[in-house]
Each structure stands twice: as C-alpha cells, then as structure tokens.
C-alpha cells in the first residue's frame, strides 16, 4: 500500500490473478458463459475488460472473486487456487447497493463487521476504523456527509460511498462492475478522476468491467476486449499513455486513436 | 414542508364520516324505516349509552382474545416467514401449501376448534391467530427473499456466512414489510375473533351481536359493529405509528419528524 511509484504504471512484476484456459458453463444449458480465457494480472495493475453486452464480463468477476468455481481450467489468485470467497477482494456495482437504514459511515463499516481480522477487533478499535472510513470518505470528496443516509446523497455521491465501502478493508483487488454506467456524463468523468487518484495513492489491483471505451482507455493499463457469448479474450491492448493522466488527454489524438482501435474490435464482434 | 400537506387534509375523513351519519339519519327518519330492520344513528347511539356497561365487558373480551391470537400470529408468522424467506428450497416447498391454507375460509375452522377445545375463548383466540399470521409470513418472506443479488455478492465475497447476510441485511431489510403486515394482520385478527364468537362463545362482541340480533334489538347489533370497527381502527393506527417509528428510513424520512 506504500506510495512507492506513483508515476510509472505498475512496476511490480508479481502476478496477482492468473487465468489458465478457464471455461465456465451456465447452470444447466451446457453452453459456456466464458471460454478458454487465459490472462494474468500483475499486482497493482489496472485492467479494464470491455465487450458487447452479455459477453460474460460479470461472469469473469464472479470467477475472480471466488463466488463461482471454473468449470475447466485454473484460476489462481495471490498464488493460490481459488476455492471459495476471497477476503482480499472489494466489489462495487452499477447500483450503489448501500443499506438505506445505515448512514454513509455505517455503510462503510459493514465489510469490517464481516471480514477478519477486523470483525473480531471492531469493538476495541472502532475509533481507529472510523477514522479510516472518514479519511477514505474525504479522499473521494464526501467529507461532512458521514452521517447522511443514502437517500440524502446524490447518485454520484452514493457511488463514491459504494467504492469506499469496497476499499475500507484495504483489499488487494478491487472489482468494479460497470460502476459508473448509471451516472450522468459529468459525474462519470469526475468519478474517473476519483478512482484514478485512489488507485495512484493506494496501488491496489483493479479489474474494471465496462462498456465505455473512453473510460477503459483513460483509466486502465491494459484493456481486454471480450467476444460475444461464449466470452473469449480477443484482444489485449496495453494503454501506454503516460501517467498521471488528466481528463484533457481524452481530447488528444493519441487517446482517440486508442478508443477508435478498440471501437473497431467491438464493431467487428457485433457484426459476426 | 412534506408534513404540512397531510395535516391540511386531516379534516377530510371526519367530515365525510359526519356526512354519512347525517345521510343515514335522514334516510331512517325520512322513510320512517323500522328500528327492527335498520336502526337510525340516534337509536344506535342510544343503545351504546344504554348498554355501555355490558358492551364494555364484551368488548374487553373480544379485545384481549384478538390481541392474544394476534400475538401468536406474529410469533408464528415471524418464524415461518424467516424459514420460507431465507431458503429457496423452503420457499418452493412451503409457499404453495401456505396459499392453499390461506384460501380456506377461516370460519370453517371454528366448528373443528369447538370440537377440540369447546365453546369459549380458545376457539376465538385460535381463529384470530389462523387468520392473521398469513400476511406476516408473506411479508417477512418477501422482504428476505428479495435481497439484491449484488449486495449478497459483496458480502459473500468477503466470506460472509448465510447467517451474517440474514442478520446484517435480510432482517433489517424485511422490517418495513413486517410492520406493514402488522397493520393488516391486526384488523384481520378482529375479524377472526368476532367470527368465532358469533358461532361459538358466550362472551364477546360477536356473541353480543348474535344474541341481540335474535331478540331483534338491532340498535345493539349496530352498536357492536361500531365498537369492533373502532377498536380495530385504534389498533391499526397504533401499528401505523409504530411502523413509522421503527422504519422511518423506508419512507425516506418524509414524515420522520412527526
């Protein structure tokens, strides 16, 4: 979690997530949701997965988080075969899924009430953990909203809180499933920067599922393009734009070139 | 600002009630309807005053049997709702049965209960229970079963056990459903108790109405109706207030200041 190399993208070489020829079948129908997926994600890397809707992106998330075991192949996370829920994972979705009867602060504390070692130390160290939650909320610009209930927050603010909740237990791996899809364009770009800053500061590993190509190109180190069902990895594209990236970069030609290239891949998939 | 609007309309039900009473009285006086068929409001009020003592006595009997049956209904409803709502298998196994059970008219149980327990308080309590627990089961089960799958993923990916998810999320989430069902259940419990009393009791408003009817004292029968409905309304309002107190977050805090 140390701020060792804020500017160069992910200098570590240790592999955190490793997929080796992974298939995942649907429940009964026999067809595969994803097929023959091999990829490895380095520690601290920011990965985006894009593809047409229904391409098994969310299925991919379930595999990484250990919520579903693969039908074939191996999923290694942190050097170990995934055989159940991983506690080093934080998740956020398109819907903020905050609990309406809890304040923003108490919503953030929820993971700490479940995951060890926080669960058993929560009583003694409550103050310390609350201070951590407060500073996290401050980082995403929610200072002073600790005691507000979800309905008192705007959609963008709720999503910020949701991302904070995913990060409160300092996971090594942050899984984001179209987290900004339901927001308006301005809020979305604002939250891109929030996520960028959080990632720059804490250097966790991110897997971002999205169908916004600009979002993928702006945030990620590596973009994977997935095909229609059964989902396969078609293209791996390294985004070599220098960091730190500013929103202005999205109007430069080298950025739009990348987006266009990704767009072309997606277009080709949709035609087949 | 949100609370000023309902207050402005607060007079509406009272005015409407008074209007109905006036029309009722006008019809009875105007067409000189016989007191033995359809008593006027004045006659009903007369009976209410004249028999205040016995009515209060019978009303108390009905009230406590209703509340007792309702209490059992809440307990059983909570447990069954929890079981059905927390497991898909139990949901599939028990839900059709519950629906089948609920479509039996509860009055049909009274003769059976009388055979088992004799005439009196016990059948009334049990009928109140049988009629009132179903909405509680359905609501609690629905609250638990409609948990957002994403939220469950968030918690399960952290290693949460099923019970963790139920306690942290499922139960608080189903509370608004539960309290909403209490309002429905308490009024149903009154129906159950009174139905049982009319058939098989020698005390209670149901019994009072039955015996007053057989001696053609229609004023007293209507007085009984009004007493039941008044008791049920008071209880309904009590549970509505409780609901707002307990789960103000579910109504988005609109009226939480009241």
Question: Chain A contacts of B158, Cβ < 8 Å?
Answer: 85, 87, 89, 111, 114-115, 169
- How does residue A206 score in pLDDT terms, banded at 50, 70 and 90? very high
Q: Each residue of B119-150: b (16+ CB within 10 Å) or e?
A: bbbbbbbbbbbbbbbbbbbbbbbbbbbebeeb
**Taking the CA of residue A208 as centre, how many other CA atoms within 13 Å lie in the half-sphere pointing to its CB?**
29
B174 contacts on A by Cβ (under 8 Å): none
- Across the A:B interface, residue pairs with CB atoms under 8 Å apart total 69
**Complex ipTM:** 0.73
Q: Tell me the average pLDDT across B116-125.
A: 91
A186 in contact with chain B, both atoms CB, cutoff 8 A? no
**Site of tokens 């019970």:** B163
CB-based burial label for A124 (10 Å; 0-12, 13-18, 19+): exposed
Neighbours of B93 (CB within 10 A): 12
The number of beta carbons lying within 10 Å of the beta carbon of residue B208 is 28
Q: Residue written as tokens 């409609």?
A: B146
CA distance B38 to A85: 70
Coil, strand or helix: which one is A232? coil
Q: Are the beta carbons of A70 and A32 closer than 8 angstroms?
A: no
Segments making up each domain of chain A, as ranges: 9-88+171-246, 100-170
Mean pLDDT over B190-215 rounds to 91
Q: Are B249 and A89 an interchain contact pair (Cβ–Cβ within 8 Å)?
A: no
* Nearest alpha carbon to residue B125 among B176, B168, B75, B189: B189
- Pairing label, strands A89-93, A173-177: parallel
Whole-number pLDDT of residue B258: 34
What confidence score (pLDDT) does residue B107 get?
86
- The DSSP secondary-structure symbol of B80 reads H
pLDDT in tens, B61-95: 999 999 999 999 999 999 999 988 888 888 889 88
Which strand ranges, in their side-by-side order, compose the sheet holding A89-93? A89-93, A173-177, A205-209, A46-50, A222-226, A233-238
pTM: 0.75
Q: Confirm or reject contact between A88 and chain B (CB < 8 A).
A: no
* Opening angle at CA B215, ends B212 and B219, nearest 5: 50
Condensed to tens digits (0 to 9), the pLDDT of residues B163-197 reads 888 888 888 888 888 998 999 999 999 999 999 99
CA distances from B211 to A124, B60, B96, B197 (A): 67, 17, 39, 11
B-chain CB neighbours of A175 within 8 Å are 157
Q: Express each pLDDT in B39-52 by its tens digit.
A: 889 889 999 998 88
- A231: DSSP letter: B
- Surface of B (156-195) touching A: CB under 8 A: 156-160, 164, 168-169, 172-173
Band of the pLDDT at B222, cuts 50, 70, 90? very high
In contact, B123 and B130? CB cutoff 8 Å: no
A9-88+171-246 topology per CATH:
Rossmann fold (3.40.50)
Q: What is the mean pLDDT of chain B?
A: 87
Left (φ > 0), alpha (ψ -120 to 50) or beta: where does B32 sit?
A: left
Query: Which stretch of A78-92, A132-146, B211-225, B239-253 has the lowest confidence by average pLDDT?
Result: B239-253
Angle at A104 between CA A98 and CA A106, to 5 degrees: 90
Question: Domain B47-249: which topology?
Answer: MetI-like fold (1.10.3720)
Number of Cβ atoms within 10 Å of the Cβ of B151: 22
Work out the burial of residue B99: count CB atoms within 10 Å of its CB; fewer than 13 is exposed, 13-18 middle, 19 or more buried.
Answer: exposed
By Cβ distance, the residue of A95, A114, A175 closest to B160 is: A114
Tens-place pLDDT, residues B141-156: 888 888 888 888 888 8
B148, B159, B253 member nearest A97 (Cβ): B148
Q: Report pLDDT for B193.
A: 94
Instruction: Note whether A93 contacts B: Cβ–Cβ < 8 A.
Output: yes
Q: Distance between CA atoms of A190 and A181, rounded to whole angstroms?
A: 13
């Amino acid at each position: 979690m140390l701020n060792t190399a804020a500017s160069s993208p992910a200098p570590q070489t240790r592999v955190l997530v490793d997929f080796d020829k992974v298939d995942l079948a649907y429940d009964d129908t026999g067809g595969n949701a994803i097929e023959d997926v091999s990829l490895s994600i380095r520690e601290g890397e920011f990965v985006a997965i894009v593809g047409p809707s229904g391409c098994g992106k969310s299925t991919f998330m379930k595999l990484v988080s250990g919520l579903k075991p693969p039908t074939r192949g191996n999923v290694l996370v942190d050097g170990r075969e995934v055989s159940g829920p991983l506690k080093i994972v934080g998740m956020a979705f398109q819907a903020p899924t905050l609990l309406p009867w809890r304040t923003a602060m108490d919503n953030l504390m929820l993971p700490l009430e479940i995951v060890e070692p926080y669960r058993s130390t929560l009583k003694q160290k409550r103050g310390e953990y609350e201070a951590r939650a407060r500073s996290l909320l401050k980082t995403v610009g929610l200072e002073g909203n600790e005691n507000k209930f979800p309905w008192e927050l705007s959609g963008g603010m709720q999503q910020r809180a949701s991302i904070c909740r995913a990060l409160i237990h300092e996971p090594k791996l942050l899984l984001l499933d179209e987290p900004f899809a339901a927001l308006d364009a301005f809020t979305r770009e604002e939250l891109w920067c929030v996520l960028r800053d959080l990632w720059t500061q804490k250097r966790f590993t991110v897997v971002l599922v999205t169908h916004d190509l600009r979002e993928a190109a702006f945030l990620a180190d590596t973009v994977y393009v997935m095909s229609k069902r059964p989902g396969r990895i078609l293209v791996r594209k390294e985004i070599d734009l220098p960091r730190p990236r500013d929103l202005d970069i999205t109007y430069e030609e080298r950025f739009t070139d990348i987006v266009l290239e990704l767009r072309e891949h997606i277009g080709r998939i949709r035609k087949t | 600002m949100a609370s000023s609007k309902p207050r402005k309309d607060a007079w509406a039900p009272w005015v409407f009630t008074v209007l109905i009473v006036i029309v009722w009285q006008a019809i009875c006086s105007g067409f000189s309807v016989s007191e033995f068929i359809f008593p006027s409001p004045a006659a009903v009020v007369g009976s209410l005053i004249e028999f205040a003592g016995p009515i209060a006595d019978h009303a108390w009997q009905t009230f406590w049997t209703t509340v007792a049956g309702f209490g059992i209904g809440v307990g059983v409803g909570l447990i069954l709702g929890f079981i059905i709502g927390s497991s898909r298998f139990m949901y599939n196994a028990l839900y059709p049965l519950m629906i089948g059970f609920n479509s039996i008219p509860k009055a049909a149980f009274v003769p059976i209960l009388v055979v088992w327990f004799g005439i009196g308080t016990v059948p009334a309590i049990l009928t109140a229970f049988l009629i009132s627990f179903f909405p509680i089961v359905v609501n609690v089960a629905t609250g638990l079963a409609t948990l957002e799958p994403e939220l469950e993923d968030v918690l399960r990916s952290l290693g949460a056990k099923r019970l963790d998810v139920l306690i942290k999320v499922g139960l608080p989430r189903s509370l608004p459903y539960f309290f909403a069902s209490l309002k429905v259940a308490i009024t149903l419990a009154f129906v159950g108790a009174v139905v049982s009393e009319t058939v098989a009791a020698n005390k209670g408003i149901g019994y009072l109405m039955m015996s007053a009817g057989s001696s053609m004292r229609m004023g007293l029968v209507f007085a009984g109706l009004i007493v039941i409905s008044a008791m049920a309304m008071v209880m309904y309002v009590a549970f509505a207030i409780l609901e707002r107190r307990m789960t103000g977050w579910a109504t988005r805090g609109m009226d939480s200041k009241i």
